């Protein structure tokens, strides 16, 4: 079974679109998302464009701030302060990476946690680990929703996560070890300090690869009927492509797919879920700001 | 080897005492800890007394607020607000459990995160998961310091944690999966939704039991030379004791000790570390407030 990120994210966006249309009738308002992009990184520009398109599709008002690479930290501080106070803006997204010389951590963490639709703020990350409601980091949130959509049982299952990044591995572990439906898993987190990750991945009912190494996970490292979620998006050289590169995940797709009971493709898997969950967080922040449960 | 919480916590408290004495010379100030105790729970009274004694020993000024069980939530809100603003108070500790009818979560989370010496606030918990410096929850912090004191290698080792509480299991997992010395472990978290925890504990280099079940972990569930950390403190009936009960951990101590390379006793293990780390957090909060790195 292929876990189709396009299908699932599409279903989520359709649902959000309906809810936003209904809320517009009752509140006369729409959720607003401010996106701050500094410099000309082509990958960042592409991400920002996809986010803008998603906003348009579902009825979120987007506010774009395209800033020169030379913008000062003080100007960004002033902008974020203004957006924190702006009632039309429910979510604020600071597109990473920032040019050198700008303090990413400082700028990210000054976004009001209630507008932190990326779910990166320590208090939102803490709420995830504590099992409290709130804005959740989009990529791990998307992985959980994908598993939920396909009714893949996690309760009591052994989930092995490869990678301990702050935006995927660690918060995903935190989500899957909580009580309740779509969680209750036995979670093991592996990383670069582990000599033999295959010792763990072979035991896993579900393997989630999020280490940013092209085609790292091979068929000999997993058991038959494993579920594989591939969070990696890596550019590798490809002379046959007009762009000169192709996108591959952290999983050697063909050989692992032959062994797995379910697997996400790259592209078309987790990546699309991330944007859908960003939109979901924006609606959550809007509802919270409007006092709608 | 017995991992001696009395020895290690004593060494930590001695070190803190020296540092506080030196800081008094340079700043003319001492750290201050406010402890709020509501009602007459005997276990809570005993904890508060131990904390008070530790403060006296190392030179922390303690402010005690012993409130009637009938105190209103509004009065507690007013007290915490006042203590948040009080420059003499570097740490605020709200002793749990609170009597029924008081909203523990609301009251705990209104403590200024920079005075949250219990390390319970979402933003402090989030900082732990993100690997940022800050105030850490005392019991898991104490477990890490105990391992560090005895130079028990965690890098690349398989640590199996039994229990996923917000005050021990989950933050401890977060700490041990970070990069760096005293961490870098492969962490697996087991809990009540797992059918056979022995499948995991038998694989572990280090087992940490924090599930609150008297003598749960037995010798047949662990491998030879395992390191066992027992976080449990359970009262069980004991007709031979004048008190009518005895304290036991989550580990069947005698039989597991015979197999383990190292183990913590109960009492005399992790429990004493918790208070030492509370004192360490209080000094950290003081230094932060005074601008001392």
Mean pLDDT of A3-14: 98
Looking at residue B293, what is its pLDDT?
79
pLDDT digits (tens, 9 = 90+) for B57-95: 999 999 999 999 999 999 999 999 999 999 999 999 999
Neighbouring CB atoms inside 10 A of B188's CB total 29
Q: Indicate if the pLDDT at residue A176 is higher than 90.
A: yes
Residues of B annotated catalytic, as ranges: 51, 95, 118
More confident residue, B293 or A191: A191
CA distance A190 to chain B (A): 5
How far apart are alpha carbons B275 and B62 in whole angstroms?
Answer: 14
Tokens of A19: 């809810």
Mean pLDDT of B246-268: 97
Q: What residues in B contact A170, CB-CB < 8 Å?
A: 129-130, 174, 177
Among chain B residues, CA nearest to A163 = B177
| Nearest Cα residue to B111 out of B121, B98, B123, B126 | B121
Q: Please name the helix (run of DSSP H) or strand (run of DSSP E) that holds residue A43, with its range, or none.
A: helix A42-58
The verdict on a CB contact (< 8 Å) between A126 and B122 is yes
User: A120, A177, A197: which to substitute to probe chain B, counting the most B Cβ within 10 Å?
Assistant: A177
pLDDT digits (tens, 9 = 90+) for B182-202: 999 999 999 999 999 999 999
Among chain B residues, CA nearest to A194 = B156
Q: Please name the helix (run of DSSP H) or strand (run of DSSP E) that holds residue A160, with its range, or none.
A: strand A158-162
Q: Indicate if the pLDDT at residue B166 is higher than 90.
A: yes
Name the architecture of domain B137-271: 3-Layer(aba) Sandwich (3.40)
Looking at chain B, the domain(s) classified CATH 3.40.50.10860 span 27-112
Neighbouring CB atoms inside 10 A of B262's CB total 18
CA distance B56 to chain A (A): 32
B242 confidence band (pLDDT: 50, 70, 90) = very high
pLDDT digits (tens, 9 = 90+) for A81-102: 999 999 999 999 999 999 999 9
* DSSP strand pairing (B186-190 vs A186-190): antiparallel
The verdict on a CB contact (< 8 Å) between A166 and B131 is yes
Contacts for B273 with CB less than 8 Å, ≥ 6 apart: B5, B8, B9, B12, B138, B139, B142, B143, B145, B146
The verdict on a CB contact (< 8 Å) between B126 and A131 is no
The verdict on a CB contact (< 8 Å) between A194 and B179 is no
Q: Indicate if the pLDDT at residue A237 is higher than 90.
A: yes
Looking at chain B, the domain(s) classified CATH 3.40.50.720 span 137-271
Q: What residues in A contact B174, CB-CB < 8 Å?
A: 129, 170, 174
Mean pLDDT rounded to a whole number for chain B: 97
Q: Please provide the CATH number assigned to the domain covering A25-114.
A: 3.40.50.10860
How far apart are alpha carbons A74 and A76 in whole angstroms?
Answer: 5
Is-contact B33 B61, C-beta < 8 A? yes
Tokens of B146: 């105990």
CA distance A179 to chain B (A): 8
Mean pLDDT rounded to a whole number for chain A: 97
Contacts for B61 with CB less than 8 Å, ≥ 6 apart: B30, B31, B32, B33, B55, B88
**Distances A14 to A4, A18, A269, A276 between C-alpha atoms, Å:** 16, 6, 18, 10
pLDDT digits (tens, 9 = 90+) for A27-54: 999 999 999 999 999 989 999 999 999 9
pLDDT digits (tens, 9 = 90+) for B19-30: 999 999 999 999
Looking at residue A204, what is its pLDDT?
98
More confident residue, A286 or A43: A286
Tokens of B293: 């790195």
The verdict on a CB contact (< 8 Å) between A177 and B191 is yes
Give the rounded percent of residues in chain B with a pLDDT score beyond 90: 99
Among chain A residues, CA nearest to B157 = A194
Looking at chain A, the domain(s) classified CATH 3.40.50.10860 span 25-114
Q: What residues in A contact B164, CB-CB < 8 Å?
A: 177-179
Contacts for B85 with CB less than 8 Å, ≥ 6 apart: none
Kindly report the backbone phi and psi dihedral angles of residue A78, in degrees, each rounded to the nearest multiple of 5, phi listed first.
-65, -40
CA distance B64 to chain A (A): 28
Could you tell me the fold of the domain covering B27-112? Answer: Rossmann fold (3.40.50)
Mean pLDDT of A166-187: 98
Q: Please identify among residues 13-72 of chain B the ones whose CB lies closer than 8 Å to any CB of chain A.
A: none
The verdict on a CB contact (< 8 Å) between B177 and A189 is yes
Block residue for tokens 């580990």: B251
Nearest by CB to B126, which of A122, A189, A194?
A122
Among chain A residues, CA nearest to B175 = A170
| Nearest Cα residue to A281 out of A110, A114, A84, A145 | A114
Mean pLDDT of B244-270: 97
């Amino acid at each position: 079974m292929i876990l189709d990120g396009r299908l699932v994210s599409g279903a989520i966006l359709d649902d959000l679109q309906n809810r936003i249309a209904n809320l517009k009738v009752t509140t006369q308002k729409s959720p607003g998302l401010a996106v701050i992009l500094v410099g000309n990184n082509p990958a960042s520009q592409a991400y920002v464009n996809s986010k803008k398109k998603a906003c348009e599709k579902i009825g979120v008002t987007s506010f774009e701030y395209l800033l020169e690479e030379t913008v000062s930290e003080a100007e960004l501080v002033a902008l974020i302060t203004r957006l924190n106070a702006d009632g039309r803006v429910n979510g604020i997204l600071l597109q990473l990476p920032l040019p050198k010389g700008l303090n990413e951590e400082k700028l990210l963490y000054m976004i009001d946690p209630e507008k932190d639709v990326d779910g990166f703020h320590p208090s939102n990350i803490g709420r995830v680990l504590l099992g409290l409601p709130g804005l959740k980091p989009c990529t791990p949130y998307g992985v959980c929703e994908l598993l939920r959509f396909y009714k893949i049982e996690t309760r009591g299952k052994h989930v092995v996560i490869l990678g301990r990044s702050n935006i995927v591995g660690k918060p995903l572990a935190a989500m899957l070890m909580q009580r309740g439906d779509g969680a209750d898993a036995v979670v093991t987190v592996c990383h670069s300090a582990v000599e033999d990750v295959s010792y763990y991945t072979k035991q896993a009912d579900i393997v989630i690869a999020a280490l940013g190494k092209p085609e790292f996970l091979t068929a000999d490292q997993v058991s038959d009927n494993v579920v594989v979620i591939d969070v990696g998006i890596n550019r590798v050289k490809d002379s046959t492509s007009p762009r000169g590169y192709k996108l591959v995940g952290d999983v050697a797709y063909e050989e692992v797919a032959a062994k797995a009971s379910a697997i996400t493709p790259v592209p078309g898997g987790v990546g699309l879920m991330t944007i859908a969950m960003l939109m979901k967080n924006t609606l959550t922040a809007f509802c919270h700001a409007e006092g709608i449960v």
